[in-house]
Chain A
Amino acid sequence: MAERVLDARWLEPPEPMELTLAAIDSLEPGDHLRLLIHRTPYMLFPILKEWGFSYQSHSNDDGTYEVLIWRKEQAAPSRTPP
């Protein structure tokens, strides 16, 4: 149940999406991804759904966002980093 962290803050679009899809493509079963990003990646969500992933997005106090991404059949990971 490991967490992978991807820091895609202040990368030019669609680089954050490209890196995210590459990262979840190689996720081990049971693992999840924590994506750090400077704005809500609206266009990423339909692809995640299409690929069979669930996600949960929330904003930080500094105006950036964190998106947790995990396979639909797994239990949702906790929002606080392990």
Chain B
Amino acid sequence: MTQPASLSLDQAPPFAVPFRFFLTAPLFALTAALVLLWQGPDLLSSRWNPALLGTTHLLTLGHMGLIMLGAILQMLPVVAGAPVGRPGLTAALVHTLGTGGIVLLCSGLIFTLPLALKLAMPTLGTALLLFAAMVVVTLRRALPHNMTVRAMRLAALMLAATALLGLTLLSNYAFGWWLQAREALTNLHLTWGLLGWVGILVVGVAYQVVPMFQLTPHYPARLTRWLAPALFVLLPGLALTNHAPRLRILLGTLLAAGFAAFALTTLWLQLKRRRKLPDVTLNFWRGGLLCLLLAIALWLTAQIAPAIGMTQSYSLLLGVLMIAGFAMSVINGMLYKIVPFLVWFHLQSRRGPSGPKVPNVREILPETRTARQMWLHFAALGTLLAAVLWPASFAYPAALLFGASNLWLWLNIVSASRTYHRVNAEIVRANASAA
């Protein structure tokens, strides 16, 4: 990081700030698996099926979104050198409104409840726009030449744009008014959401966490300087190309090239890491980046052979590759670094010198458990891709595997959180008897 060592980080947010997000999120992915188990192959009949839209948002907002929000609240003081004002209150407000809004939105879409959709608009809209504004304002105080800061700010702006588009589409579902451009706006909404908010955020966070956790060389300076701003400029351009298919393909190809450059650079840096030890997080990253490259290859194939893009399974395959394949793999892998570290960090800072013993990170979350959950996740991913192509044979096995994988992820986070509370109680007792 390029910051002075005098940086004051006394304001690392309390343990509960990120953990309330991390402990809730996998339950939404588990719910998505239960919806697939209940609806079966019918759920995968069309990308416009409202139940599938609801299930998709259980994953993008409920699972991925909550974890990303919690992780950003944790990271902001470190990358920005500026704490979030009143982190406990901000987290409580965003988390309560956010989870409430996600439950309303997804149940409204899955069970066709217009009232729930109407109520989801103010709750979810407030949570997401408040959060995006908070990130942009907090990062205004950050150092301008930190490339992660720059990417995070751009990702937050894309989150706001995605949320505003989402609210427009939601009002159309809730009030049933005529929206001629619904398909074009939906495509823009999911492109901005997955490539703008999720994609640019993963790119920016990778600049920090890949070299730090995997001891790789740094990303090339030219890539970190230009990639996120270039992606950010290209994405709004897509909005203007509705009636210019050639320009759309050009912009899309440039976007694909940008993300492919990021994926290939990251995989290459990981090959050059200093210590060649097996690592669960590294394998999650590799699987996720491979899915990103497969999604890019599929999109390019559909541009060359338009018949492929016309098939029902094309957009569903893209969605599974980008959501369950790329985003969920990378997020799951990062959680396995962040969660045990935060448990260890908070316990160490509270115990003081010569206090009770604190378990190390490998004891807080043993690799045997995280590795098995990872294989389950990738088995679920493969089965989900098969379920898109052959719903009758694979929808139920995919639901069971995907549910089991996310239940296991949740149990791993719960177990780390319980270790924190157990050891913290010992520290409180020791401090009380020493006083």
Which residue of chain B has the shortest Cβ distance to A67 in the bound complex?
B5
Instruction: Verify if B213 is at the interface (C-beta below 8 Å from A).
Output: yes
B212 within 8 Å of A by Cβ?
A: yes
How distant is the Cα of A24 from the Cα of B212 in the complex, in angstroms? Answer: 23
Q: If the complex has contacts A18-B360, A39-B1, are A13 and B213 also in contact, measured as CB distance less than 8 A? A: yes
From B7-15, B165-173, B403-411, the one touching the partner chain is: B7-15
Question: Could you mark each residue 275-317 of chain B with 1 if its beta carbon is under 8 Å from any beta carbon of chain A, else 0?
Answer: 1010000000000000000000000000000000000000000
Q: Which of B5, B9, B349, B353 contacts A57 (CB 8 A)?
A: B5
6 tightest A-B contacts by CB? A57-B5, A47-B349, A50-B349, A46-B9, A51-B353, A10-B274
Within 8 A of B (CB), among A38-57: 38-40, 42-43, 45-47, 49-52, 56-57
B354 and A40: CB pair below 8 A?
Answer: no
Q: Number of A residues whose C-beta is below 8 Å from B?
A: 25
> Looking at A14, A18, A40, which has the most chain B CB atoms within 10 Å of its CB?
A14
Known: A14-B341, A42-B78, A46-B12. A21 touches B348 (CB 8 A): yes
Is B344 engaged at the interface, CB distance under 8 Å to the other chain? yes
Residue A73 interfacial (CB < 8 Å): no
Interface of B toward A, CB cutoff 8 Å? 1, 3, 5, 7, 9-10, 12, 78, 212-213, 215, 274-275, 277, 341, 344-345, 348-350, 352-354, 360-361
8 contacts between A and B (CB under 8 A): A10-B275, A12-B213, A39-B1, A42-B9, A43-B345, A45-B9, A46-B10, A57-B5
Bound together, the chains give a CA A45 to CA B215 distance in angstroms of: 21
B275–A43 CB distance below 8 A? no
Contact B353 A52 (CB under 8 A): yes
Tell me how far the C-beta of B166 lies from the nearest C-beta in chain A, rounded to whole angstroms: 35
The residue in chain A whose Cβ has the minimal distance to the Cβ of B340 is A14
Closest residue to A25 on the B side, CB-wise?
B353
Q: Interface SS of chain B: helix, strand, loop or mixed?
A: loop
CA A56 – CA B5 in complex, angstroms? 8
| A9 shortest CB reach to chain B, Å | 10
Q: Which residues of A are interface residues toward B (Cβ below 8 A)?
A: 10, 12-14, 17-18, 21, 24-25, 38-40, 42-43, 45-47, 49-52, 56-58, 65
User: How close is B80's CB to chain A, nearest CB, in angstroms?
Assistant: 12
Say whether B215 contacts A10, CB under 8 Å: yes
* Residues of A with C-beta under 8 A to B275: 10, 12
| Nearest A-chain residue to B10, judged by Cβ | A46
In the complex, the answer to whether A25 meets B354 with C-beta atoms within 8 Å is yes
Let me know if B344 and A40 touch, CB within 8 A. Answer: no
Say how far B356's CB is from chain A's closest CB, in angstroms: 12
Enumerate chain B residues within 8 angstroms of A50, measured Cβ to Cβ.
349-350, 352
User: Which residues of chain B have C-beta atoms less than 8 A from A56's C-beta?
Assistant: 5
Residues of chain B contacted by A52 (CB below 8 angstroms): 352-353
- Report B-chain residues with C-beta under 8 Å of the C-beta of A45: 7, 9
Q: Is the CB of A39 within 8 A of B212?
A: yes
B353 & A42 in contact (Cβ 8 Å cutoff):
no
Select from chain B the residue with minimum beta-carbon distance to A48.
B349
B364–chain A nearest beta-carbon distance, Å: 11
Contacts of A17 in B (CB 8 A): 348
Enumerate chain B residues within 8 angstroms of A13, measured Cβ to Cβ: 212-213, 341
Determine whether the beta carbon of A42 is less than 8 Å from that of B341.
no
Residues of B within 8 A of A65 (CB): 5
CB–CB B3/A12 < 8 A: no
Q: Are B1 and A40 in contact (CB under 8 A)?
A: yes
Residues of A within 8 A of B361 (CB): 14, 18
Neighbouring B residues of A47 by C-beta, 8 Å: 345, 348-349
Whole-angstrom distance from the CB of A60 to the nearest CB of chain B? 13
Identify 11 new A-B residue pairs, CB closer than 8 A, beyond the known A42-B9, A42-B78, A45-B7: A10-B274, A12-B275, A14-B341, A14-B345, A17-B348, A38-B215, A39-B1, A42-B1, A43-B78, A43-B345, A51-B353
